[in-house]
Amino acid sequence: MHQAVEVLLRANNDPARLFGYAHGDGFQLLSNMSVRLSRFAAHADDLFGSPQAPFIPGCNDEHEAGRWSFTTMQFRRTLAWHIAHQPFGVVAGARQYKHAQVAVFEGYAGTSASGFAAEVEAEQATARLDYVEQLYRDWLSGGPSGGGAATGINAEFARIQAELAELPGSVAGRARLRTMLDHLTATLHPGVLGDCFYRPETALCAKHAQRPARRPLPMLDTCLSCPNARRSSVHLPRLEQAREQARQLIAETTGQPMPPLQHAALTGHLGHLDGLITQITGDTGRAHQ
C-alpha cells in the first residue's frame, strides 16, 4: 500500500494530495480515474500478457466479453481493508464510509467473523514474510543494524546465507530462501522506529502487561530500549526525523518556562535517539564478513 501511495505522489504534482493536481491557484480532482485505470490495465497486458493469455483476465459475461472495465468503486472494499489494518483504522474507516456502527465497517472490511478472516490472515502472513525477506536482503547488501535483537537475528541471517551457499553449482531459489526465513515471522512485529522480535522472557512490555490469551503485541513506549528490538536502515530516516523533531521542540522552548521533569524528559529522549542512530550507523559487526 505504501508503494502505491509513493507512485501516486510521483504521478501527481501536488504533494499535499494524492488524487488530483495543482491547477492555477487551486486544486483539481481527477475526473478520469476510470480511464487511467483502464490505460494502466492495457499497459500491463502489453508488457506481461498476450492476446491468448491476457495478464489481467477479461470479463466472463457473454454479453460483455472483452477487456475488464475498471471503476473506482471496484476498489472500495480493498481500500476499506487497508484502512481497517492501520492503527485506529476501524474507527476512521467507519467515519469515512459513513457506517452507522463500527461493527458494520468491521464486517465490510473483513476484520470480523462475517468478513474474509482467513484471507486477511493469509495476506498478513505474506506481508510479514515479504518484510523479513527485505530485512535479509538489506543485511546481505551491507545494511547497518542495531538494537538488542540485532546480534541474534543477524546470526540467523548468516546461518541461512551459509546454508544457501553450500548448494554446489547452483543459485538458491527465492522459494527456498523464504522457507528458511519463515520461522522469523512467528515473533515479528514491524514498527516505525524499530522491529520487535518478541521473546516474553526478555520483553520489557511483558513486565507491564497481563499475560494475553493470544500472541502478544508490543507496547511501543518500551520498544526503543527493549532487548527484543532490532533497527535497520529502513528505520534510520525515521529515527533521524524523530531526533530532528525533538531538537526543534527543545529549541522552540529555549528561554521559556518549562517544568524540570519535562525538560529532562525531552533532553533524555534526544540523547536516547542520538545513541540509537549512532548504534546503527556505527555497527560493523557483520557476522558474515
Query: pLDDT in tens for each of the 289 residues of the chain?
Result: 557 667 766 666 665 665 666 666 766 666 677 787 888 888 888 888 887 777 887 654 444 456 677 777 777 777 777 777 666 676 667 766 666 555 666 666 665 554 455 666 677 788 889 999 999 999 998 888 988 899 999 999 999 988 887 555 445 578 888 999 999 998 898 888 889 999 888 888 777 655 555 555 444 456 778 889 999 988 888 888 888 888 888 887 777 777 777 778 788 888 888 888 888 887 434 433 3
β-partners of residue 20 are: 29
- The amino acid that residue 45 corresponds to is D
Q: What is the pLDDT of residue 60?
A: 46
Rounded to whole angstroms, how far apart are CA atoms 61 and 149?
54
Q: What is the pTM of this model?
A: 0.54
Q: What share of the chain is helix, strand, coil (3-state, %, to 5)?
A: 55, 5, 40
Q: What is the pLDDT of residue 284?
A: 39
Q: What is the pLDDT of residue 9?
A: 65
Q: What is the pLDDT of residue 270?
A: 85
Nearby residues of 229 by Cβ (< 8 Å), 6 or more positions away: 147, 148, 149, 191, 194, 195, 196, 197, 223
Q: What is the pLDDT of residue 86?
A: 67
**Beta-strand relationship, 188-189 and 195-197:** antiparallel
CB atoms within 10 A of CB 57: 10
Q: What is the pLDDT of residue 114?
A: 45
Q: What is the pLDDT of residue 269?
A: 82
* Helix residue ranges per DSSP H, the chain: 2-11, 33-48, 76-84, 89-96, 102-109, 117-140, 150-165, 174-181, 236-252, 260-281
Rounded to whole angstroms, how far apart are CA atoms 19 and 41?
18
Rounded to whole angstroms, how far apart are CA atoms 157 and 139?
8
Q: Which of 256, 239, 258 is nearest to 195 (CA)?
A: 239
Nearby residues of 67 by Cβ (< 8 Å), 6 or more positions away: 38, 41, 42, 45, 54, 56, 58, 59
CB atoms within 10 A of CB 146: 25
Nearby residues of 170 by Cβ (< 8 Å), 6 or more positions away: none
Q: What is the pLDDT of residue 251?
A: 82
